[in-house]
Structure 1
Amino acid sequence: MIYPRARMAALTVAIAFALTGCSLFKHSSPPNDGAIVSSIESKLFQDPVLKTRDVRVVSQQGVVVLTGTVGSDQEKSAVEQIAHSTDGVKQVIDELSVGSQQQAEAQAPEAPAQPETRRSRRHGRTVAQNEAPSESGSTPAPVVQSPPGSASAPSSEPPSPPQPVEITVPAGTVITVRTVDPVDSATNQTGDEVSATIDSPVSEDGQIVIPRYAKARLKLVSVKNAGHIKGRSEVQLQLVSVTVGGKTYAVDTGTYQQEASSSRGKQTAERAGIGAAIGGIIGAIAGGGKGAAIGAGVGAGAGTGVQMATKAQAVKIPPETKIDFTLRSPLRVTVNQ
């Protein structure tokens, strides 16, 4: 019987295509921090209430930090919503404080005060300080200069700026970062570097050595993808540098490892079992008990073939993921006291 065999083969191919998946990856261009800040400030100025508040906006590689004072929780939520809705924003860190309406208005920038018009009494009438003397008025009194010997002592010299000092962060210190760029074992390779920011300030003897939001770089020291039949995808990250005061420092830390949620061996067994069950049903319809046994074998083979054609489950670390790294060697950083 040629026709039942052809139908069985067609159904097996259809099942294989139904089990096969695909994924699309979207790469975004680097954000324009200047355009992000300008857009957020423009939207705040268009609001009759928010434009009177002291709201400061800073953007670093798409990570927006909001500081200042607003009058209520509703105003705070409105400012954060405006920042979130702006194109190019990856993350919004809200550091706004809520005060009274008077405090929020008092901290808002004020217009320069107009100079007061001082008046003096001259010859029985009041004359404005900036008023030009009349033709019949008396000439201004001459300025009396002090003798050279009575000159006031020169003011003291301004204090010298603080001198930079080098502070050592000891080995074993934990540095917490928050990722900015995503990590994907299907697209990233060993040696790639991604951006991050310091999530918690690092202090030593009461002195902040590495401030919060300082730039950091992470390196993929290992990227493994699961094989066609067995194995598990994994990535290993290492913190390699931080930037403090415009200077970049190399960092030696331990690695952070993340694996895929399931292994290829388990997926192969599951898909082969599903293929055998479906093949058995098709074989039973086509040729009874013997056909069921043949169909089960064909279905199991189809399930294994689908597993070999399917991409391994990738390890993905999205932006804004917090990761802890431990220093393996002391880190020396120069700071201003």
Structure 2
Amino acid sequence: MKKNIAIIMGGYSSEVDISLKSGEVVYAHLNNDSYNAYRIHILKDKWVGLDENGQMFPVNRHDFSVDFGQGPLTFDCVFNAIHGTPGEDGYMQAYFALLGIPQTSCDYYQAALTFNKRDLLSVLRPYGVKCARSYHLNKEDELDTVAILEKVGLPCFVKANKAGSSFGVFKVYQERELKACIEKAFEEDDELIIEAALEGTEVSVGVIRYEGKITVLPITEIVSENDFFDYEAKYQGKSTEITPARISDEQARKVSEVASMVYRVLKMKGYSRSEFIFIGDEPHMLEMNSNPGLTEESILPQQARVAGISLRKLFESAVEDALNQKY
């Protein structure tokens, strides 16, 4: 008997449109011989299920069921394609854990931790993971630009602490630019991380559970036409993504070992994609995404293709892995 799979997409953040695209790709490629797939939009003003014609039906949030006209339909598993809150920061994971419904991304604690750039890097430093010098700033804190620049120098990056797709990220070259960039970043989040700019080759490393095994995918080199790998570079063709990356065997070994170790140490599940910059042969971690983009042009699907994994197999493996988890 085919399993009912809810593909949740949308979310409450600036990444809503990207998530809707990811969810539609999953819906198009998920194996319909094994599963009955249903699109579920999780939006600020509504939670709705869509039928094959795009007609919307409300989600019963008490048990996450949908009545498409033939009585309440429940789901055997949830495919989580939400980028940003509430699908990547632990809220949906905790909700489904309480309901006892398997879902394809990591657990709620890991989601909350990896979504918080400051906390993630703080947890990983004792394991020897290298990262940039940083300064933490909250919205209610007194702004001391002198102290910030004494810590991180110029150029530096001002980043919203809990945001994705490079929303709320600004590169600062001169002290007079710093205050304005901080104010803009606070529009995305009330916590910031300000980091020294690392100059070197940037790579993205996907680590997934595939057919029950932790697997490091081929590494992608990021060459941005812009100052850094910003929203335009990621989604509007302003970058070149080269898989496999043009790095040495030693660099590939080191960054693969770090990415795999981080996945294991954090007890991750599902997909992850971590960003690193090489200083010499040493990879310095920038962040980890626990629900990376799944559009046709997104990095993780590119890496899977190079590894010989079709989107159908990639998505099916995530669902089967979730269904085999014990709740």
Q: Does TM-score exceed 0.5, indicating one fold?
A: no
Q: Which has the larger radius of gyration?
A: 1
TM-score, normalised relative to structure 2: 0.23
TM-score, normalised relative to structure 1: 0.23
